[in-house]
Structures are given as structure tokens and as C-alpha cells.
């Protein structure tokens, strides 16, 4: 037969486990609620094919690659595509440097 102290210890352990499980459930609910509120990727970064974590170096490298492909003097390039890429690059640099938009 278990002693009173052993029964008491077991009851306290079960209570602590239950409290821990409830706190984990509350944490998971809060985590999932915050995931829904993530902001969308800005259009200028999306147009360059980058995500929100892009740095200025990433933007510059991607712009150079796209500019070579879309330049009017390049095979298959067009003036409109080059203007679009250049505009997206300028907006992305403004966004990442924290300057206000020209538009």
C-alpha cells in the first residue's frame, strides 16, 4: 500500500504535468495566431523574384541578372521589360533603405 507522502507526491506531479500541458497548448495557439498576421511580400521584391528576407546585396545581384536578360540590346530583351525591372529595383532599394517611395 502506498504511503500518504507517495500519494501526495503523485498528485502534485500530475497537477504540474497538467499545468505544463495547458501552458504548451496556450503557447501553440498564440504561435498559430501570429502566423496568420504575417505581412505580404512587397510587389517590388516579388517582381524581382525575391522574398521579404532579401538584403540590398541580394536585390542588386538579382537586378543585374534580370537587367542583362531584359535589356533592349540583349537578344530577346524589350524596353518595357527593362523599365519594369529597373523600377522594381529602385523601389526595392528605397524600401530596404527605409526611404519614402517616389510614387
Instruction: Write the pLDDT tens digit of every residue in 59-76.
Output: 999 999 999 999 999 888
Mean pLDDT across the chain: 82
> CA-CA distance, 84 to 102, in Å (whole number)?
15
SS3 53: coil
User: What pLDDT score does 31 carry?
Assistant: 67
In this prediction the pTM is: 0.59
> CA-CA distance, 45 to 62, in Å (whole number)?
10
User: What pLDDT score does 93 carry?
Assistant: 93
Task: Tell me the torsion sign for CA atoms 4, 9, 10, 11.
Answer: positive
User: What pLDDT score does 35 carry?
Assistant: 54
77 has pLDDT over 60: yes
Q: Find cell 517611395 and name the residue.
A: 101
Amino acid at each position: 500500500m502506498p504511503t500518504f507522502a507517495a500519494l501526495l507526491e503523485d498528485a502534485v506531479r500530475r497537477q504540474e504535468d497538467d499545468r505544463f500541458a495547458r501552458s504548451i497548448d496556450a503557447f501553440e495557439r498564440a504561435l498559430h495566431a501570429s502566423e496568420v498576421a504575417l505581412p505580404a511580400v512587397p510587389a517590388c521584391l516579388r517582381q524581382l523574384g525575391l522574398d521579404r528576407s532579401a538584403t540590398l546585396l541580394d536585390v542588386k545581384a538579382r537586378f543585374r541578372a534580370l537587367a542583362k536578360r531584359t535589356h533592349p540590346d540583349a537578344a530577346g530583351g524589350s524596353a518595357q521589360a527593362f523599365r519594369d525591372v529597373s523600377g522594381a529595383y529602385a523601389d526595392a532599394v528605397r524600401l530596404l533603405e527605409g526611404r519614402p517611395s517616389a510614387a
